[in-house]
């Protein structure tokens, strides 16, 4: 397979990040499209790939989405609070316009895959990628395959228990203060302090509280999926918070399962420029192209 070009669509709630790479996954060109109405946004994305043709495309989308190939709504966005996007079939829109093989998955699965092949998951046979940003989501890989069958993982909505000093009422419209997203996603910082997260110094106690919940989620991950590595992305948890996250994970474990080397077990992303999802999409595009040629 020579001189092939692979495309990446990272579909987010505020913007779509588009990129085209050569067969070494080196980026040839990229663009950003603001997320407005589905018609407007997707038309602009399609135009980018008409101007910059690819042999296959990988799409990592915000969710929830239907990623089950046998489902009649495969490729579409499910119940989302984003106006106009519910029921939109993103996969069909690109497939009908571009006529190339497409791999369709969640944004966190794309990031997990990018870390698996080119980031801090290299050399591991299993990993869980957790993003803590506007929401909390996770993608898990075991031996090169995504974990999930009936749908994709929704680990941000696992039940969480509150720290005794936390009286925040929660931000998840479904589970309020009973899930990790409701207690620790980016908007909970403003919900607790009344100030935008990026304006608050990292020494503020709110970040210790967030790290407590992310540590709790890492412990849940450790005892349920037992991955070789947990990789944390998103803007909320940075290198500054990772020591606290590791400390709380260890506290929740309380000596139960054999203590991993925490510094190697819970790590930041390794792909530069927040490019985990993009490189993951290129690799998934290559995979779907190879499968279509069989
Ligand atoms: Zn929830």
Q: What is the CATH number of the domain that holds 284?
A: 3.30.420.40
3-state secondary structure of 30: strand
* 127 and 244 share one domain: yes
Number of domains in the chain: 2
Q: What is the pLDDT of residue 119?
A: 98
Does the reported pTM lie above 0.75?
yes
- Our measurement of the distance from residue 27's CA atom to the centroid of its chain's CA atoms, rounded to an integer in Å, reads 20
Interval between CA 178 and ligand 1 midpoint (Å): 7
Interval between CA 179 and ligand 1 midpoint (Å): 5
Interval between CA 64 and ligand 1 midpoint (Å): 12
Interval between CA 182 and ligand 1 midpoint (Å): 6
Interval between CA 268 and ligand 1 midpoint (Å): 24
Please name every residue paired with 19 in a beta bridge, in sequence order, or none if there are none.
8, 30
> 123-165 pLDDT, tens per residue?
999 999 999 999 999 999 999 999 988 889 999 999 999 999 9
* 32 and 82 share one domain: yes
Print the domain residue range for 78: 6-107+273-292
Interval between CA 159 and ligand 1 midpoint (Å): 8
* 72 and 126 share one domain: no
> 74-91 pLDDT, tens per residue?
999 998 878 899 999 999
* 186 and 247 share one domain: yes
In which element (H, E) is residue 139 found?
Answer: strand 136-142
Interval between CA 243 and ligand 1 midpoint (Å): 26
* 57 and 88 share one domain: yes
Q: What is the pLDDT of residue 1?
A: 54
> 228-237 pLDDT, tens per residue?
999 999 999 9
């Amino acid at each position: 397979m020579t001189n092939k070009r692979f495309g990446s669509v990272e579909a987010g709630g505020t913007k779509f990040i588009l990129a085209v790479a050569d067969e070494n996954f080196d980026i040839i060109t990229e663009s950003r499209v603001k997320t407005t109405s589905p018609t407007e946004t997707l038309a602009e994305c399609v135009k980018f790939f008409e101007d910059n043709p690819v042999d296959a495309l990988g799409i990592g989308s915000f969710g929830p989405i239907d990623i089950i190939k046998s489902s009649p709504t495969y490729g579409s966005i499910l119940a989302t609070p984003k106006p106009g996007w519910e029921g939109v079939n993103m996969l069909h829109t690109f497939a009908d316009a571009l006529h190339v093989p497409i791999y369709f998955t969640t944004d966190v699965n794309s990031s997990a895959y990018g870390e698996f092949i080119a980031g801090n998951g290299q050399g591991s046979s299993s990993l869980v990628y957790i993003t803590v940003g506007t929401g909390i989501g996770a993608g898990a890989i075991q031996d090169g395959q995504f974990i999930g069958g009936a749908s994709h993982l929704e680990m941000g909505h696992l039940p969480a228990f509150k720290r005794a000093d936390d009286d925040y009422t929660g931000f998840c419209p479904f589970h309020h203060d009973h899930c990790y997203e409701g207690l620790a996603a980016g908007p909970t910082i403003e919900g607790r302090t009344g100030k935008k997260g990026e304006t608050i110094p990292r020494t503020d106690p709110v970040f210790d509280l967030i790290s407590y919940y992310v540590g709790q989620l890492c412990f849940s991950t450790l005892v349920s999926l037992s991955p070789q590595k947990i990789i944390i992305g998103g803007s909320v948890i940075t290198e500054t918070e990772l020591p606290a996250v590791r400390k709380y994970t260890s506290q929740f474990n309380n000596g139960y399962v054999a203590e991993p080397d925490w510094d190697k077990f819970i790590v930041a992303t390794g792909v530069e420029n927040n490019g985990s999802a993009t490189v993951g999409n290129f690799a998934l595009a290559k995979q779907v192209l190879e499968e279509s040629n069989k």
